[in-house]
């Protein structure tokens, strides 16, 4: 038997209805905030993530699905002709780098401030567990544009955070915590890294091998360490909050002011540095108690230098990505409760009735009814069983007698009540709520 690759999942009905429910609600919220959808490729040049997300991050150093494009083992003529042969490609581990690449490639600054959202799969080779998969789904958004369009304003940060609070509330997710920090600008971080190096110097030898490497290459990443023995050392390290310069402190204070005035609660956490290198200033995560170890339901922040790092013009930006798998896990709503069951099961009875039933079903579906359709080879008992199993509200019998009379037996399955309804009145009768 061929099984799905480790860390990937098949999603089935009725669960998929819950995913659609979430996505529909999210699209509604994005509409209210004037965000529009962007779709970028699922694979990109490896270099994009190496430069964008950062070589020293766990994502880039350990978790990417990367391959050399050779046209499936043999050198395809067209691959060779396009000069793509031997190019390193990667399944996207996140979508921010792709959006910024698209921003630069298509000169999206001409549009002023871009408010973009995306919904789609991302790929990371992590150790699979509940809430952590190798193919997972993100619902994300990015606000990016020239500073003259207001992209740098703390008002944008606060708007994005308020949108998230609205979204979680609307989905009925209670008990979330917004953890907020500022990771400063590159100058702040250079001073912070220096202080970290100094503090880590005498103790680095006692830490895990990853941390020993980080101390040399990118000390900030020490905060990503999950090794329990290293935690007492990490707890005592200096914090970024002590290194923010005047403009960064002011920016962060203003974000907090707006959040307070719109009534979005938050907790300051100056250990939060996020696992990607592109962040500047505001960084945040929303956590949820019910999720266990993988408790970050979403994360995001500002990335004011990312466009330049990828060869583009200055383009301050802020965004977030929600782990859709985790969002669905934290919903109290059950999949059953959001599935729309068939309004009617159309049961053809006897030879030649399939085509009549198909015509009727077509008519009824035009009235926005959910219609399922049986088969003329089914005995009546089997049709009833099928309708029951589907949870249909009504069963409609389409037999020869009904055709002659142009009126049909319509039975309400829960109450067992049955009436004969002329063709022209069927849609109305079925559409009415309650029994017959």
Contact residues toward ligand HAM (CB under 6 A) are 94-96, 124, 126, 131-133, 136, 138, 140, 142, 275-276, 296-301, 303, 319-321, 323, 325-326
Cα torsion for 427, 432, 435, 436, to the nearest 10°? -50
Asked if 186 and 192 count as a contact pair (C-beta separation under 8 A), the reply is: no
Q: Which is nearer to ligand HAM, 276 or 413 (CB)?
A: 276
Residue closer to ligand HAM (CB basis): 184 or 323: 323
Q: How far is CA 164 from CA 18, 113, 298, 320, 336, in A?
A: 19, 19, 9, 9, 26
CB of 179 to ligand HAM, least distance (A): 11
CB of 131 vs ligand HAM, minimal distance in Å: 6
Tell me the residue number closest to ligand HAM, measured at CB: 323
- C-alpha separations of 142 from 100, 163, 256, 272, 436 in Å: 9, 12, 20, 20, 51
Shortest Cβ 123–ligand HAM spacing (Å): 9
Minimum Å distance from CB 352 to ligand HAM? 52
CA–CA gap between residue 408 and residue 430 (Å, rounded): 12
Residues whose CB is less than 8 angstroms from the CB of residue 334 and which lie 6 or more positions away in sequence, other chains included: 18
Contacts of residue 430, defined as CB under 8 A and 6 or more positions apart, other chains included, come to 343, 344, 364, 369, 393, 394, 396, 410
Cα–Cα distances in angstroms (integers) from residue 181 to residues 138, 240, 281, in the given order:
22, 9, 8
Nearer to ligand HAM, 26 or 344 (CB): 26
| Contact criterion met (CB below 8 Å) for 306 and 96 | yes
**Closest distance of CB 233 from ligand HAM, Å:** 24
39 vs 417, which CB is nearer to ligand HAM? 39
Minimum separation from the CB atom of position 59 to ligand HAM (A): 7
| CB-nearer residue toward ligand HAM: 21 or 303 | 303
């Amino acid at each position: 038997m061929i099984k799905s690759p480790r860390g990937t999942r098949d999603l089935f009905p009725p669960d998929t209805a819950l995913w659609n429910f979430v996505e529909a609600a999210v699209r509604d919220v994005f509409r209210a905030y004037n965000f529009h959808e962007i779709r970028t490729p699922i694979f990109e040049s490896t270099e994009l993530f190496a430069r964008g997300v950062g070589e020293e991050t766990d994502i880039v150093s350990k978790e990417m699905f990367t391959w050399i494009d050779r046209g499936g083992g043999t050198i395809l003529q067209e691959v060779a002709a396009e000069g793509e042969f031997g190019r390193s490609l990667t399944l996207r581990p996140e979508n921010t780098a792709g959006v910024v690449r698209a921003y630069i490639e298509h000169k999206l600054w001409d549009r002023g401030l871009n408010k973009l959202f995306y919904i789609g799969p991302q790929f990371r080779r992590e150790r699979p567990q509940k809430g952590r998969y190798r193919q997972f789904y993100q619902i994300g958004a990015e606000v990016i544009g020239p500073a003259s369009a207001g992209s740098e304003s703390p008002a944008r940060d606060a708007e994005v955070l308020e949108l998230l609070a609205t979204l979680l509330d609307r989905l009925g997710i209670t008990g979330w915590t917004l953890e907020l920090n500022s990771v400063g600008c590159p100058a702040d971080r250079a001073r912070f890294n220096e202080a970290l190096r100094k503090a880590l110097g005498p103790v680095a030898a006692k830490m895990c091998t990853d941390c020993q490497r980080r101390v040399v290459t990118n000390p900030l990443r020490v905060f990503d360490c999950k090794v329990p023995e290293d935690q007492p050392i990490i707890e005592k390290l200096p914090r970024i909050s002590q290194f923010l310069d005047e403009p960064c402190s002011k920016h962060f204070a203003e974000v907090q002011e707006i959040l307070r005035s719109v009534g979005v609660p938050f907790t300051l956490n100056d250990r939060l540095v996020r696992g990607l290198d592109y962040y500047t200033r505001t960084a945040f995560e929303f956590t949820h108690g019910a999720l266990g170890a993988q408790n970050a339901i979403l994360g995001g922040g500002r990335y004011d230098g990312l466009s330049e790092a990828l060869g583009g013009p200055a383009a301050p930006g802020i965004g977030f990505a929600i782990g859709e798998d985790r969002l669905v896990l934290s919903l109290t709503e059950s999949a059953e409760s959001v599935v729309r069951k068939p309004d009617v099961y159309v049961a053809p009875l006897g030879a030649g009735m399939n085509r009549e039933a198909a015509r009727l079903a077509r008519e009824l579906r035009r009235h926005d009814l959910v219609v399922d359709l049986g088969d003329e080879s089914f005995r009546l008992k089997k049709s009833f069983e099928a309708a029951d199993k589907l949870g249909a509200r009504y069963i409609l019998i389409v037999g020869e007698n009904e055709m002659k009379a142009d009126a049909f037996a319509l039975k309400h399955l829960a109450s067992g009540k049955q009436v004969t309804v002329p063709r022209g009145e069927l849609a109305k009768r079925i559409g009415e709520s309650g029994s017959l």
